[in-house]
């Protein structure tokens, strides 16, 4: 990622040395997030939207909704599609073109957190079983990339959902044979939150900044719900975790999930 090899070795040494002294290079505690801010309803053309900053990482999520057929094997629930775009605006390392493996992983992990966390009551997005359901697109646009996209994207997507309105009245003309009702708030069911940790040498850090990601050995993202239940996990990078480390991370993820959820609830 961070280009030049010499630069990246110097960076690694610097981070290693700091950690040996028990410090992160930006002065944070190991279990401390950067400043997290959430602003909802920032895009009027979207049914719901949120812009999330985690430090300098800047992410914009928007919800669009339309009406269509359900999948044959799930006739009574709406359809949800999550897509994250690592647009080249956000980083010199992101390229134009079809989504690469990193974008696809990000999209799928964000999707899994929301889906398995039952963020939305998808049955309430069924209009007529087997015939017509709401189709929901969650699009996450990465605007400025300074590490920890997983948490920023998941948080922005959750906030956008929580602030969204299902635009039923707009579609009344198009579907005269169905009772779509009035516009209604997105039927939120749960607030799963993703929290990501990396391992650098033997140290576990939450919310890695880009420089930390660059030298990290292993990464684990854990999505938890308000009751502290685990809803999704994704390990990344080519290092390994011990079982004890994973237990430790899962426990901390619940704590951190609660902290971020508080910030989210205040933004709504």
- Which residues contact another protein (rule: CB under 8 A)? 5, 43-46, 49, 56, 58, 60, 62-64, 66, 73-74, 83, 85, 87-92, 96, 98-99, 101-102, 104-105, 107-108, 112, 115-116, 137, 139, 141, 143-146, 220, 228-243, 246-247, 250-251, 254
Angle, helices 149-162 vs 101-116, to 10°: value is 50
CA-closest candidate to residue 147, choices 192, 83, 202, 86: 86
Q: How far is the CB of 64 from another protein (least distance, A)?
A: 4
Nearest CB to another protein, comparing residues 125 and 266: 125
Cα(10)–Cα(210) distance, rounded to whole angstroms?
A: 15
**Residue whose CB is less far from another protein, 30 or 137:** 137
Q: How far is the CB of 19 from another protein (least distance, A)?
A: 20
Kind of pairing between the strands at 165-166 and 218-224: unpaired
* Whole-Å CA distances, 23 to 37, 185, 209: 24, 44, 14
Residue 135 · residue 65 · CB < 8 Å: yes
What token pair was written down for 239? Answer: 């290092």
Nearer Cβ to another protein, position 19 or 46?
46
CA distance 82 to 61: 10
Cβ 262 to another protein, closest distance in Å?
Answer: 20
Q: How far is the CB of 179 from another protein (least distance, A)?
A: 23
Q: Which is nearer to another protein, 92 or 181 (CB)?
A: 92
Least gap, CB of 102 to another protein (angstroms)? 8
Comparing CB distances to another protein, the nearer of 22 and 173 is 173
Burial class (CB in 10 A: 0-12, 13-18, 19+), 244: exposed
* Residue with Cβ nearer another protein (75 or 187): 75
- Closest to 221 measured CA to CA, from 266, 257, 172, 174: 257
E strands present in 69-131? 79-85, 126-128
Q: How far is the CB of 246 from another protein (least distance, A)?
A: 6
Compute CA distances 238 → 3, 5, 108, 200, 216, whole Å. 19, 19, 19, 12, 9
**What is the rounded distance in angstroms from the CA atom of residue 134 to the CA atom of residue 82?**
14
Residue placing its CB nearer to another protein in the complex, 25 or 87 = 87
Smallest distance from another protein to CB 55, Å:
9
Shortest distance, position 168 Cβ to another protein, whole Å: 15
What's the burial of 238, exposed, middle or buried (CB within 10 Å: 0-12/13-18/19+)? exposed
Q: Pick the closer one to another protein by CB: 22 or 215.
A: 215
């Amino acid at each position: 990622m961070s280009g030049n090899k010499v630069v990246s070795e110097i960076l690694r040494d610097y981070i290693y040395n700091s950690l040996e002294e028990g410090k992160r290079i930006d002065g944070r505690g190991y279990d401390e997030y950067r400043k997290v801010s959430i602003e909802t309803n920032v895009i009027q053309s979207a049914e719901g939207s949120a812009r999330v900053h985690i430090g300098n990482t800047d992410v914009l999520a928007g919800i669009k909704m339309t009406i269509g057929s359900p999948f044959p094997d799930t006739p009574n629930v709406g359809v949800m599609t999550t897509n994250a775009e690592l647009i080249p605006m956000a980083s010199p390392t992101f390229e134009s073109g079809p989504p690469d493996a990193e974008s696809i992983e990000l999209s799928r992990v964000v999707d899994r957190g929301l889906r398995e966390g039952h963020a939305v009551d998808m049955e309430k997005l069924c209009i007529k079983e087997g015939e017509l359901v709401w189709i929901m697109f969650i699009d996450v646009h990465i605007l400025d990339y300074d590490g920890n996209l997983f948490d920023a994207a998941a948080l922005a997507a959750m906030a956008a959902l929580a602030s969204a309105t299902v635009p039923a009245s707009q579609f009344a003309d198009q579907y005269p044979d169905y009772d779509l009702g009035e516009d209604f708030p997105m039927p939120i069911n749960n607030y799963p939150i993703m929290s990501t940790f990396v391992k650098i040498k033997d140290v576990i850090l939450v919310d890695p900044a880009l420089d930390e990601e660059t030298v990290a050995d292993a990464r684990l993202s854990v999505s938890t719900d308000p009751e502290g239940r685990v809803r999704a996990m994704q390990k990344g990078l080519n290092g390994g975790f011990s079982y004890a480390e994973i237990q430790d991370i899962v426990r901390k993820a619940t704590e951190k999930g609660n902290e971020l959820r508080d910030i989210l609830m205040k933004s709504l």
